[in-house]
Amino acid sequence: MDLKLTPVSMPTTIRPNAGVRPAASGGAEGVGGGFAGALKSALGSVSAAQNESGRLQREVQMENPKVSLEETMVAIQKAQIGFQATLHVRNRMVQAYTDIMNMQV
């Protein structure tokens, strides 16, 4: 999901620090930092947790002695919590977008 917004140009009398940007902390910009990078990373880790829990479920169903039921249940719960957190973030973002779009200018 690539969300790109075009910057709004405002006169410098309204926005006096128009040319000044805050310094990046820790060099996160080079790694794909910012909100989009953090969101993409979080979605990737949730997806990986879901894939891992699915793999462990299959292994338990095939009665693999190397995979314990407890380990599988913990992985399932981690994936479920991550998915619920992702849904909450999505719902908050949609609500924020709706609030901004409904603002009167």
Domain that holds residue 62: 32-101
CA distance 101 to 105: 10
> Is residue 12 one of the residues assigned to a domain?
no
What's the predicted TM-score (pTM) here? 0.62
27: left (phi > 0), else alpha (psi -120 to 50), else beta? left
Q: Return the pLDDT at 22.
A: 52
Q: What share of residues in the chain are helix, strand, coil (percent, to 5)?
A: 60, 0, 40
Fill in the DSSP letter of residue 28.
G
Per residue in 21-67, pLDDT tens? Answer: 555 554 444 456 788 898 899 999 999 999 999 999 999 999 989 99
Instruction: Label residue 94 by pLDDT band (50, 70, 90).
Output: very high
Please give the radius of gyration of the chain, using alpha carbons only, rounded to the nearest integer.
Answer: 21
Average pLDDT, the chain: 80
Give mean pLDDT, residues 88-98: 95
Residue 48 forms part of a structural domain: yes
- Does residue 84 lie within any of the structural domains? yes
Confirm whether 5 is domain-assigned.
no
Q: Are 48 and 92 in contact (CB under 8 A)?
A: no
Domain assignment present for residue 13? The answer is no
**Any domain includes 66:** yes
Question: What's the number of domains the chain is made of?
Answer: 1
Q: Work out the percent of the chain whose per-residue pLDDT is above 70.
A: 70
Instruction: Please check whether residue 82 lies inside any domain of the structure.
Output: yes
Q: Tokens 């409904």 sit at which residue?
A: 102
Going by pLDDT thresholds of 50, 70 and 90, the confidence category of residue 4 is low
- Whether residue 6 lies inside any domain: the answer is no
Q: What pLDDT, on a 0 to 100 scale, did the predictor assign at position 51?
A: 95
